[in-house]
Structure 1
Amino acid sequence: MNKTNAGRFFEDYHVGQVIEHAVPRTLSGGERAMYHALYPARHSLHSSDDFARACGLHESPLDDLIAFHTVFGKTVPDISLNAVANLGYAEGRFLQSVYEGDTLSSRSEVIGVKQNSNGKTGVVWVRTTGQNQLGQDMLSYVRWVMVRKGNLDATAPQTVIPDLADSVLASDLVIPEGLDFTSYNFIHAGEPHRLADYEVGEKIDHVDGVTIEEAEHMLATRMWQNTAKVHFDATVREDGKRLMYGGHIISLARALSFNGLANAQMIVGLNSGAHANPCFAGDTVTAWSEVLDTTETNAPGVGAIRLRLVAQKAGADAFSLKGADNKYLPDVLLDLDYWALIPV
């Protein structure tokens, strides 16, 4: 009896299928330390218990993307082990902050399938939910993945493409209980800019760049238990290169955005996202942001800012994104639309 598992292929998915993912994970200060070692992450709310307490929380929560990567990593053996690429995200909501000692698990529901015209691959849409040890939902998002077929003769399933919202409504954003920015310490945060200092349409060059090392990427994929073959096995791709995990680029770009957006403290919504082009070791990543919307919330002193975060290769034209054909330019790596909390 064969006890190993080659993973699911495109023909193994069907709409309505619910998958409970294995290996729940208890998070500790180790994840925080490693996250801050892998990325130049410096947002004060995720770095200092004292700063967090002054903002109404009982201690510093773990970086929001630690929760995202952990929940995402649980899904990889079932959803994207045989993926060609992770294509995009939508309808992401961070429902509760995650703290040291929380145990996260994941489940996914297949909400769409479409075989590609080449007959060799297909796209699978899933809605993934992360829960804590109390059964409380912590995070929910949709992603879609291009997956290889295991049997090229398998009958193509009926195409179902889910109808996804363009963005998370500001009224649907969940503000952490007790969060209060009325006594916010701008000196300790690192910058003086508050919500009113940003204008819709404003673009911010985050100036700094980071050259990606193979070792860092491999640490990141192992850290989040991401077992997708394209990240580990150089024989999977025809070019013999290991593809950088897309979440690595997200966290790197988010950390780079500190320079200009140091007070955009917490991610609470993920409106959309696309890994526009592949990234490999040796590439130097830079980032810029565009302000898409601003709004106040019901929490004291807390506003929300909607941002487009773009990661690109160093040397690309500033604020470049798409060409005349409306396709991403070849040096664009990531186009991420998200909501963050910021003092008013």
Structure 2
Amino acid sequence: MDRKSTPLMEVLERTDSRLRSEGNDTRLWPTGFKLLDDTIGGGLRAGMLALLAGPQGQGKTTFALQIARNAVVAGRTAIFFSYELEAESLLQKLVALEAGEIDPHEAPNLNAIRSVFEGTDGGHGGLLDRLEALPGGVNALLQVHRYAERLITHRSTTSHTGIASMIEQIEDSVRTHKEPPLVVVDYLQKVHDPKDVSEDEQTTRIAEQLKDLAIEFDCPVLAIAAADHEGLQPGTRLRARHLRGSTALAYEPDLVLVINTKSDIVARHHLMFDGNSHERFRNYSVLTVEKNRSGHDGAELEFRKRFDQGRFESEGAAVAERLVDERVYVD
């Protein structure tokens, strides 16, 4: 992808015209997590490559999907390249999320939503008929329907879906919606590379191409990144240096977010004097801003997990406790 040179005068005129006609900065995609947006400079930016990393089971897909959902609820478009889950599984998560947003206390859990989709709920009729039996189920489905045209899911495969396939999907979305989408890749190390190279070389090539893609289409790319073997070992807090292909993944991204369970990384003294603290901390994830070219890094934010509802609570807080790089296990 060759990007043509642009005189600065053209950039000035284009920016002035955009601000006069729209009155806001369309180069920002707020994540919908206000504390995170405030920390990283307002949201994900056009031309930005952002990474989201964490150990297995931390809710990386859930967090990324929620960001995509928040973008389309705000009127934007998003493409979710999923190498992990089928489109129907993502839809189930979204319906559960919407039910939880409507009523977090009475909402059906994700398993109940899944049983409806799979037809094992004991109900009859179509999707709408079966969801009527679940509190808030119909309203949740209607909410998803409002933005379903703007949230595109792509069932991606390691053997076929590479950068060229992504470009085709993004170009099609731009033609349809007349604006660049938020691009989510779940996950980076599974993106197909036609060249027979080592894993580190492949990670470097894909990271560089995702960054080029963000610049070419003037959109943000949010890619989930996998940890290497060391980063998955007990006793280690996952950091950016533990990512597979960490050299490239330390240089190319504009933003690196790492997610860990709070109980695994809080200092021991916070657990010793309160018998309930370990269980309470297990319900929270800590999102660390390890790199941020658009503002400050090093921030440590916590968000409550609601995986039973396919979401995180959007109201977060700065971590008050001392965190450590060694996980702590308490019986």
TM-score, normalised to structure 1, is: 0.24
Instruction: Say which structure, 1 or 2, has more relative contact order (CA 8 Å, 6+ apart).
Output: 2
Which structure is higher in helix share? 2
Which structure is higher in strand share? 1
